[in-house]
Chain A
């Protein structure tokens, strides 16, 4: 983790450690870059505003050096231009402050799981199967009829099966919306999806994680 605010670094480190990660902290961009390029890390959490070297330059230089470790940029500047700039520089995810610790843990976990993943054409969780080419979904061999958006929602959940996925992650990745709805819109979409994939089956796959989001698990 590259973070210059010592309090913030300590509190995030404690949370990540409690979530079974081992964390090294670098206090500025240059140190962060040299540690990251030595390798051995699974995920890099990088603050955007750093002393000595900005987070965006660190990612760009790491990618130029051929370091492909997944990078999550944390930023107080949560607007479209900065997000696009960060992602273009080679970051894998971009999280605007303020964020909850759970949000950060979920995203780190998603990056950690996503390392070295091959492009897939079929996804499966328990007896739920998705064919990405034919765009069909079956459960226990029975075909389920999903709307295009429900399909994308389920696809994202299946790609992150076993992990907690936050509402904000769904909003950003399924709808490409970068604002916080004040209403429970996401929950309603989830409950509609749930009624299609879980209602007629004895075992539930889509679980609510209280205070965080959702998890699809077989």
Chain B
């Protein structure tokens, strides 16, 4: 698609081009002023000084020797080769002697600066119009004297230089506009490709991606960022779809059991022990359903990642308290439970969510590790400065191929269906880790040959205040 000229003129790139052209123009004007000052300006100042000296000298001659001496001096000086011009006239304005037949103008009573043009005869007989500048005045209210300097050649050169610079300025301006338009056209074309991709995605095709040319410019960077965003959106859509299916599937069995328990209760004689028992079981099923909904809502809130106030979380204290909290239950189950928590660990985050995430990991370990096994909590600052919290066990573990999958929502591995839980625990931990700009990694556990599971929560550390 070709962007039209009107649209091009509105682009940022073109505007930047215009600004650049303006800067070029400003520079040329400054250069012109400088050249003028250094050439023509200097020439004029020199002429003025020279003309004033000559005028003063002739004024003295007149004062000492009268009109005769003055006339003689003017004739002599006019005859000398050089760029100085002399005119002597009667007070009426009638020219007596000098280089030019007429006065440039009739002066007033006081001496004045004159700047005039006259026709000079050149060697080949033609006349050129040249400029002259000097001083004119009446000597003791008598004769009129003009001393001026012919600026001819020098002024001509300065004029040529000035014209050349103007030409360069206009050419430069034109080139700036053209290159601005070209750059704008190029940028607009690439922006249009990105906009086109975005429009196609809006149109419903989530698989579209912006082309990356691989030249590493800002458009490539934008395209990569855009593609990253689209990947995330697509993954979220996929998760939502899967979650929707999983909710429907996972809620069907507890709801069916719930209904069946209530039916059983209805069939029993009222207020009998069997009736009570069936109702109690129905309540348990209802509780399980509510727990699942609560877990789904909590996960949704964490994933929405908005309005969480992140504050300093003292990892060391929280982990020591959690270890103290879970240790008796672990021992009761015949597990060896230990905690190795380094001092002064802190992250920036939400204390409630962090506590819950670690407690989910510990409960998972307690739930899946058979009696006689070991469960260990470790926390340390890694060499790269991040804080790592490991919950290790030597239970059945998770096969490496399954590890990515168990973090997804509602995924419960075969064999886990008989233990209570909604299958949301690890996905909540992963979501909490993302909220804290960290990650959840599953590795081999404590058992021989890497048997068991190590769930590692890696979060950016917060510097402890000394």
Pick out which of these stretches binds chain B: A29-37, A45-53, A159-167, A172-180: A172-180
B355-389 contact mask (Cβ, 8 Å, vs A): 1 or 0? 11001000100110000000000000000000000
> Residues of A within 8 Å of B, CB-based: how many?
22
Pick out which of these stretches binds chain A: B104-112, B160-168, B321-329: B321-329
Given known pairs A98-B290, A177-B355, the reply for A189 and B328 (CB within 8 Å) is yes
Contact residues of A between 162 and 194, Cβ < 8 Å to B: 175, 177-185, 188-189, 191-192
Quick check: B329 and A185 within 8 Å, CB to CB?
yes
Quick check: B367 and A182 within 8 Å, CB to CB?
yes
> Residues of B within 8 Å of A, CB-based: how many?
28
Quick check: A181 and B363 within 8 Å, CB to CB?
yes
Contact residues of B between 292 and 341, Cβ < 8 Å to A: 293-294, 301, 307, 309, 321, 324-326, 328-329, 332
Given known pairs A80-B352, A175-B321, A182-B420, the reply for A192 and B363 (CB within 8 Å) is no
Distance A189 CA – B329 CA, assembled complex (angstroms): 8
Quick check: A79 and B301 within 8 Å, CB to CB?
yes
B287 adjacent to chain A (CB < 8 Å): yes
B350 adjacent to chain A (CB < 8 Å): yes
Quick check: A180 and B366 within 8 Å, CB to CB?
no
B404 adjacent to chain A (CB < 8 Å): no
User: Which B residues lie within 8 Å of A78 (CB)?
Assistant: 294
Quick check: B325 and A175 within 8 Å, CB to CB?
yes
Of A98, A149, A178, the residue contacting B352 (CB under 8 A) is: A178
Q: Which of A188, A189, A191 has the most CB of B within 10 A?
A: A188
Quick check: A182 and B363 within 8 Å, CB to CB?
yes
Task: Give how many A-B residue pairs fall within 8 Å (CB-CB).
Answer: 51
Judged by DSSP, the binding face of B is helix
Of B309, B328, B350, the residue contacting A185 (CB under 8 A) is: B328
Quick check: A181 and B332 within 8 Å, CB to CB?
no
Of A81, A149, A181, the residue contacting B359 (CB under 8 A) is: A181
Distance A211 CA – B294 CA, assembled complex (angstroms): 21
User: Which B residues lie within 8 Å of A81 (CB)?
Assistant: 307, 309
A140 adjacent to chain B (CB < 8 Å): no
B152 adjacent to chain A (CB < 8 Å): no
Given known pairs A79-B301, A98-B290, A149-B324, the reply for A183 and B329 (CB within 8 Å) is yes
Looking across the interface, which residue of chain B has its beta carbon closest to that of A211?
Answer: B280
A100 adjacent to chain B (CB < 8 Å): yes
Looking across the interface, which residue of chain A has its beta carbon closest to that of B326?
Answer: A185
User: Which A residues lie within 8 Å of B324 (CB)?
Assistant: 149
B192 adjacent to chain A (CB < 8 Å): no
Shortest CB–CB separation between residue B292 and chain A, in angstroms? 11
Distance A179 CA – B366 CA, assembled complex (angstroms): 17
B421 adjacent to chain A (CB < 8 Å): yes
Q: Which of B307, B321, B326, B329 has the most CB of A within 10 A?
A: B329
Contact residues of B between 255 and 286, Cβ < 8 Å to A: 280, 283
B291 adjacent to chain A (CB < 8 Å): yes
User: Which B residues lie within 8 Å of A79 (CB)?
Assistant: 301, 352
User: Which B residues lie within 8 Å of A98 (CB)?
Assistant: 287, 290, 293-294
Query: What 4 pairs between A and B have smallest CB-CB spacing?
Result: A98-B290, A188-B328, A185-B329, A188-B329
Instruction: Give chain B's interface residues, CB within 8 Å of chain A.
Output: 280, 283, 287, 290-291, 293-294, 301, 307, 309, 321, 324-326, 328-329, 332, 350-352, 355-356, 359, 363, 366-367, 420-421
Can you list 30 residue pairs at the A/B interface with Cβ under 8 Å?
A: A79-B301, A80-B350, A80-B351, A80-B352, A98-B287, A98-B294, A100-B283, A100-B287, A149-B324, A175-B325, A177-B325, A177-B355, A177-B359, A178-B352, A179-B352, A179-B359, A180-B291, A182-B363, A183-B329, A183-B363, A183-B366, A184-B329, A184-B332, A185-B325, A185-B329, A188-B328, A188-B329, A188-B332, A191-B332, A211-B280
Excluding A98-B294, A177-B355, A188-B332, 16 further A-B contacts by CB distance (< 8 Å) are A79-B352, A80-B350, A81-B309, A98-B287, A100-B287, A149-B324, A179-B356, A180-B291, A181-B359, A181-B363, A182-B363, A182-B367, A185-B328, A188-B329, A192-B328, A211-B280
